[in-house]
């Protein structure tokens, strides 16, 4: 038998996977690639402005001029600034009162609109009206309504013989605070009401049927079914409501510009006045940065409140 010369089989050419191949095909790296656009977006549009704002607060930057690092000088100045502390007080008062009242009215409206009633769709649409009017327009309307000379409220009360002089709505410090809080409530109630209504609609009617068969009253239905199931959405809604109210600017600026005698200056409006109107960017940034701890606290309360609700993962509450 003739020897058959067997030609040695050519070894398959294996190429070591390059780092680039690994980056292309490794699932973990691929995940990173997909995340990069979102990360870039967040860094560029959210983290960078925040970081820049905080950096500016440690400088003496003025409009149109690069500043120098002044460490905590801006904060030390603000610490002894009576107008700054007045704005902190105003902001907390404004946020607390407006948010609490918006929640109460919003919850009441949501419960009402969740019932079967005639013209339900129309009523739901009407509740949204304050929300669809541009903020500045509604602020101007309130400015007129509460005008010291031309208020429709003063005019009506005078013609009814209930008052003899115009009420000094925006010229008196207490009245001015009440007026801006009222305007904020009017503007913010639809957000709370409609969001809570959406939450209410996710509650299964069978729960109410079962509870009713067991003899539960309407209050017990609310206390033991509606409220617990609505809690997560209340936490989210109130977090957003507090954040929006705390950082409100347009209503105040259009109605009072922080007056009279700074009685309605919020931290946001004071920051704008100092940074943009008066040109002191560093100081304005410090006022804005001073809002961050308050805002973080509001988020944390909501976050940990939600975390504690283990039933969301199928466990009972703590």
Partner 1 sequence: MHDFTRRALLQGGTALAATGALTGPALFEFAKAWAQESPWKPEAGAKLTVMRWKRFVPAEDEAFNAIVAAFKTATGVEMNVFSESFEDVQPKASVAANTGSGLDLAWGLHTLPQLFPTKVLKMNDVADYLGKKYGGWTDAAAKTCKLGNDWLGIPVATNGGYMTYRKSATDKAGFKEFPKDFPSFLEMCKALKANNTPAGFALGHASGDANGWLHWLLWGHGAYTVDQNDKVIINSPETAKALEYCKALSETFIPGTPSWNDSSNNKAYLAGELYCTLNGISIYVAAKTDPTKKELTADTYHALHPVGPVGKPTELQLAVPILAFNFTKYPNAAKAFVAFMLEKENFDKWLDGAQGYLTQTLNAYENAPVWSADPKNAVFAQASKRTLPASGIGTPGEKAATAIADFIVVDMFANYCTGSKDAKGAMAEAERQLKRIYR
**d(Cα 205, Cα 212) in Å, to the nearest integer?**
11
Binding part of the chain for partner 1, among 90-98, 162-170, 209-217, 308-316 by CB under 8 A, reads 162-170
Sole binder of partner 1 in the list 98, 113, 139, 170 (CB under 8 A): 170
140 contacts partner 1 (rule: CB under 8 A): no
Span between the terminal Cα atoms of the chain, in Å: 87
Touching partner 1, residues 55-94 (CB under 8 A): 62-65, 77, 80-83
Sole binder of partner 1 in the list 52, 123, 137, 276 (CB under 8 A): 276
**What is the smallest separation between the CB atom of 281 and partner 1, expressed in angstroms?**
8
Sole binder of partner 1 in the list 94, 103, 142, 169 (CB under 8 A): 169
**What is the smallest separation between the CB atom of 70 and partner 1, expressed in angstroms?**
11
Binding part of the chain for partner 1, among 134-142, 155-163, 166-174, 218-226 by CB under 8 A, reads 166-174
For residue 257, give the 3-state DSSP assignment.
Answer: coil
Residue count, binding to partner 1 (CB under 8 A): 38
Q: Which of these, 289, 294, 201, lies nearest to 242 by C-alpha position?
A: 294
Residue 2: its H or E element:
none
Q: Please give the residue ranges that form the binding site for partner 1 (CB under 8 A).
A: 62-65, 77, 80-83, 147-150, 165-166, 168-173, 176, 256-263, 273-274, 276-281
């Amino acid at each position: 038998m003739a020897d058959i010369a067997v030609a040695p089989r050519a070894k398959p050419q294996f190429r070591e996977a390059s780092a680039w191949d690994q980056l292309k095909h490794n699932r973990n790296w691929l995940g990173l690639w997909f995340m990069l656009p979102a990360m870039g977006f967040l860094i560029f549009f959210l983290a960078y402005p925040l970081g820049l704002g905080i950096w500016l607060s440690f400088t003496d930057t003025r409009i149109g001029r690069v500043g120098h690092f002044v460490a905590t000088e801006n904060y030390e100045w603000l610490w002894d600034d009576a107008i700054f502390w007045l704005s902190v007080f105003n902001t907390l008062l404004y946020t607390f009162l407006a948010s609490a009242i918006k929640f109460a009215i919003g919850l009441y409206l949501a419960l009402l609109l969740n019932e079967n009633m005639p013209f339900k769709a129309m009523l739901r649409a009407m509740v949204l009206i304050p929300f669809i009017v541009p903020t500045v327009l509604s602020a101007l309307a309130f400015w007129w309504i509460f005008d010291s000379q031309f208020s429709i409220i003063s005019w009506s009360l005078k013609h009814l013989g209930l008052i003899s002089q115009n009420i000094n709505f925006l010229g008196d410090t207490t009245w001015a605070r009440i007026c801006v809080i009222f305007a904020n409530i009017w503007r913010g109630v639809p957000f709370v009401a409609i969001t809570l209504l959406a939450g209410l609609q996710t509650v299964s009617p069978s729960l109410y049927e079962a509870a009713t068969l067991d003899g539960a009253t309407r209050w017990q239905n609310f206390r033991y079914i509606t409220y617990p199931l609505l809690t997560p959405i209340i936490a989210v809604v109130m977090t957003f409501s507090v954040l929006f109210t705390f950082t409100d600017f347009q209503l105040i600026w259009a109605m009072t510009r922080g007056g009279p005698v700074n009685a309605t200056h919020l931290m946001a409006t004071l920051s704008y006045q100092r940074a943009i109107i008066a040109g002191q960017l560093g100081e304005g940034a410090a006022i804005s940065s001073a809002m961050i701890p308050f805002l973080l606290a509001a988020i944390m309360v909501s976050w940990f409140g939600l975390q504690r609700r283990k039933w969301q993962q199928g466990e009972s509450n703590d």
